[in-house]
């Protein structure tokens, strides 16, 4: 690797040296922050991903030291490698911002406005992107495309209407599993993610398609409608798993584990793939060794109600009993006697399907 | 320390206390009493600023924020989808909910495939700021023109979904009309 020449590239007036063959997107990610273009389809851990969504478009104002002509069109930074002396404009270019707004409008043409129902809301990349670049209204006057409902097994819920066809899940299913049964059928406007002939996906690592999905097209069926992500507390935890690394993020509410996901880095990419057993079947705190609260970007809605450090992760020690010879405090009102919510005898997190009206009539 | 001992007058209307001995007229007292009584009795003929409250009621301001209601659509289906935006907007953390998936056959009860199976507002915590109403993307929660009724017990202030939902237009059309306050919004 050491003999690989280093290329000097300037992105938004910040110069960095990267090895030849690095893409503009990865060079920008090395600088970090706002300079890194958003990416809906590129996933550094998946071979062949990228080049589909066009949100990472950048302007190349100087091709290289040898050929300083600018590139005639905006280029997809996830697929364009850097040249020595290249100058790239991302957020400093009006053309890029304008093009990105247009791309977001295109992505939202067929995307339903069901964020209040969608389980991805709060951690959805398309939601973030639309907040940064989107328009308030839509100019689209036609019916949004709809699909026949497709059941792809007991663990994963597919909402084809929400899909933006980034192909990330297809690459995941292809590269993590040996048998290919998940792919894109049909073309153009009719293209849809599906399994062939209603096959259910049962590979050990197939749950990772939930994590790679930038929108709410693939969601966890065992978590479906259980809670909103911003009411849950993400905690780093691990367990001794024979199939995967066992390093996960638990999404807790109190002591209940509502959801298990892989740990995601600052670009929203999975750090370690986790297996289905860890993801779907270990929904008890006793299954896990908890390391501590996960760092969440303070601009994210998930960080609401969370405090810095370990505050709120441990239950406070009640001193009343100790200093009053073991007497319990006399409560004027126990909320569980009156409240219908969070009943101690109803544990929704342990259901392996969404809650129904029948679950509340115990 | 910078202040002088002499207090600065706040207004120019201050008057030094008059410690002169009373005159004969003042010592009679009767004229002063009559003067006072004249002022008192003159109020009988003036317009009353108060009203007889429980019998008479004043009109609410159009921006009045009172007790919450959970809205239904014209077919009587609950609008709330338990998206949690009211709860996250609530500065007093008064709102809690539990969501559930609509079963086949419940389409006439709930508008969307997800709904609030349990919805609860703790009126002891609520500060009636109206942020939940503002946050709601589904037109589901409104603050009505009603006061939260007084109660001797705290448990009377925990409002469940049955307490908050407006009457069903299918079974009680007049009640639904009244609950909408004559300001029906035909938004879908």
Q: Which residues of B touch A222 (CB under 8 A)?
A: none
Any domain includes B175:
yes
Residue A318 has a pLDDT of 80
The whole-angstrom distance between B90's CA and the closest CA on chain A is 12
- Per-residue pLDDT at B38 exceeds 50: yes
Pick the last residue of a domain from A39, A72, A102: A102
Any domain includes B40:
no
* Torsions phi, psi for B159 (to 5 deg): -100, 120
**A137 and A208 together in one domain:** yes
Q: pLDDT digits over A208-219, tens only?
A: 999 999 999 999
Pick the last residue of a domain from A220, A253, A280: A220
Any domain includes B111:
yes
Per-residue DSSP letters for A153-219? -SSEEE-GGG-----HHHHHHHHH-SS--EEEES-GGG-EEEEGGGPPP--TTTTHHHHH-SSSSEE
- Per-residue pLDDT at A2 exceeds 70: no
Q: Complex ipTM, two decimals?
A: 0.84
The whole-angstrom distance between A225's CA and the closest CA on chain B is 6
> Residue B98 and residue A333: Cβ atoms within 8 Å?
no
**A187 and A276 together in one domain:** no
Nearest to B117 among A116, A117, A355 (CB): A355
Percent of chain A's residues with pLDDT above 70:
96
Q: CATH number for the domain including B108?
A: 3.30.70.3270
**A212 and A153 together in one domain:** yes
Q: CATH number for the domain including A173?
A: 3.30.70.20
**A94 and A31 together in one domain:** yes
Q: pLDDT digits over A229-287, tens only?
A: 999 989 999 999 998 998 999 998 888 899 999 999 989 899 999 999 999 999 998 99
Any domain includes B58:
no
Q: Which residues of B touch A358 (CB under 8 A)?
A: 103
How many contacts, defined by CB atoms under 8 Å, are there between A and B? 78
Residue A68 has a pLDDT of 92
Is A215 within 8 Å of A113 (Cβ atoms)?
Answer: no
Any domain includes A345:
no
Percent of chain A's residues with pLDDT above 90:
51
**A251 and A306 together in one domain:** yes
pLDDT mean over B60-78 = 91
| Partner residues linked to A215 by β-bridges | none
Residue B1 has a pLDDT of 45
Task: Indicate the number of domains in chain B.
Answer: 1
- Per-residue pLDDT at B61 exceeds 90: no
* B118 in contact with chain A, both atoms CB, cutoff 8 A: yes
**A208 and A128 together in one domain:** yes
Any domain includes B135:
yes
Any domain includes A340:
no
Query: Rg of the Cα trace of chain A?
Result: 24
Residues 128-167 of B with CB under 8 A from A: 137-138, 154-155, 158, 160-161
What chain B residue is nearest to A229 in terms of C-alpha separation? B84
Outline where DSSP puts E strands in B85-169: 95-101, 114-122, 141-143, 158-159
Pick the last residue of a domain from A71, A102, A133: A102
- Per-residue pLDDT at A171 exceeds 90: no
Domain that holds residue B76: 68-179
Any domain includes A108:
no
- Residue A346 DSSP symbol: -
**A197 and A284 together in one domain:** no
> Residue A332 and residue B120: Cβ atoms within 8 Å?
no
Q: Which residue has the higher pLDDT, B72 or B184?
A: B72
Any domain includes A356:
no
Domain that holds residue A91: 6-102
**A239 and A153 together in one domain:** no
Any domain includes A361:
no
The whole-angstrom distance between B101's CA and the closest CA on chain A is 5
> Residue B103 and residue A339: Cβ atoms within 8 Å?
no
Any domain includes A1:
no
Per-residue DSSP letters for A44-84? TTSTT--SSS-TTEEEEEE--SS--PPPSS-EETTTPBP-T
Give the helix ranges, DSSP H, for B115-172.
131-135, 161-164
Task: Indicate the number of domains in chain A.
Answer: 3
Nearest to A356 among B88, B101, B119 (CB): B101
Any domain includes A359:
no
Any domain includes A343:
no
């Amino acid at each position: 690797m050491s003999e690989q020449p280093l290329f000097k590239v300037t992105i938004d007036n910040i110069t960095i040296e990267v090895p030849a063959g690095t893409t503009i997107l990865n060079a920008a990610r090395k600088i970090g922050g706002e300079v890194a273009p958003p990416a809906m389809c590129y996933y550094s851990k998946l071979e062949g991903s990228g080049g589909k969504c066009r949100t990472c478009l950048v302007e190349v104002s100087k091709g290289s030291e040898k050929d300083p002509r600018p590139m005639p069109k905006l280029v997809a930074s996830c697929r364009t490698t850097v040249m020595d002396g290249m100058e790239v404009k991302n957020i400093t270019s009006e053309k890029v911002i304008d093009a990105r707004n247009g791309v977001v409008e295109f992505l939202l043409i067929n995307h339903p406005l069901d964020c209040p129902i969608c389980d991805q809301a709060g951690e959805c990349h398309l939601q973030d992107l639309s907040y940064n670049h989107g328009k308030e209204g839509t100019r689209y006057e036609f019916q949004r495309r709809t699909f026949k409902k497709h059941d792809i097994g007991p663990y994963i819920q597919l909402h084809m209407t929400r899909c933006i066809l980034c192909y990330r899940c297809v690459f995941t299913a292809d590269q993590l599993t040996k048998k290919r049964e998940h792919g894109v059928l049909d073309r153009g406007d009719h293209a849809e993610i599906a399994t062939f002939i209603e096959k259910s996906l049962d590979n050990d690592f197939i749950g990772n398609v939930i994590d790679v999905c930038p929108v709410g097209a693939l969601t966890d069926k065992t978590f479906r409608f259980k809670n909103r992500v911003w009411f849950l507390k993400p905690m780093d935890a691990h367990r001794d798993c024979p199939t995967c690394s066992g390093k996960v993020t638990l999404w807790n509410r109190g002591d209940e584990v509502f959801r298990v996901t892989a740990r995601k880095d600052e670009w929203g990419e999975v750090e370690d793939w986790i297996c289905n057993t860890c993801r779907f079947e270990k929904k008890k705190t006793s299954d896990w060794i908890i390391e501590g609260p996960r760092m969440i970007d303070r601009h994210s809605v998930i960080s609401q109600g969370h405090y810095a450090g370990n505050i709120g992760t441990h239950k406070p020690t009640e001193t009343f009993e100790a200093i009053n010879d073991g007497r319990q405090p006399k409560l004027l009102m126990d909320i569980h006697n009156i409240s219908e919510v969070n009943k101690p005898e109803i544990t929704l997190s342990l259901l392996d399907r969404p809650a129904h009206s029948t679950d509340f009539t115990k | 320390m910078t202040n002088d001992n002499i207090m600065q007058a706040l207004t120019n209307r201050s008057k030094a206390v008059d410690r002169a001995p009373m005159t004969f007229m003042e010592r009679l007292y009767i004229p002063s009493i009559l003067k006072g009584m004249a002022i008192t009795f003159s109020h009988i003929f003036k317009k009353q600023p108060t009203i007889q409250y429980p019998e008479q009621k004043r009109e609410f301001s159009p921006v009045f924020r009172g007790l919450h209601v959970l809205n239904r659509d014209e077919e009587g289906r609950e609008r709330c989808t338990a998206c949690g935006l009211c709860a996250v907007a609530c500065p007093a953390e008064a709102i809690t909910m539990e969501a559930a998936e609509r079963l086949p056959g419940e389409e006439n009860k709930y508008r969307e495939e997800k709904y609030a199976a349990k919805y609860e507002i703790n009126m002891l915590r609520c500060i009636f700021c109206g942020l939940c109403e503002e946050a709601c993307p589904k037109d589901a929660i409104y603050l009505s023109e009603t006061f939260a009724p007084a109660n001797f017990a705290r448990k009377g202030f925990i409002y469940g979904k049955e307490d908050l939902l407006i009457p069903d237009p299918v079974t009680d059309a007049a009640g639904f009309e009244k609950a909408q306050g004559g300001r029906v919004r035909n938004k879908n």
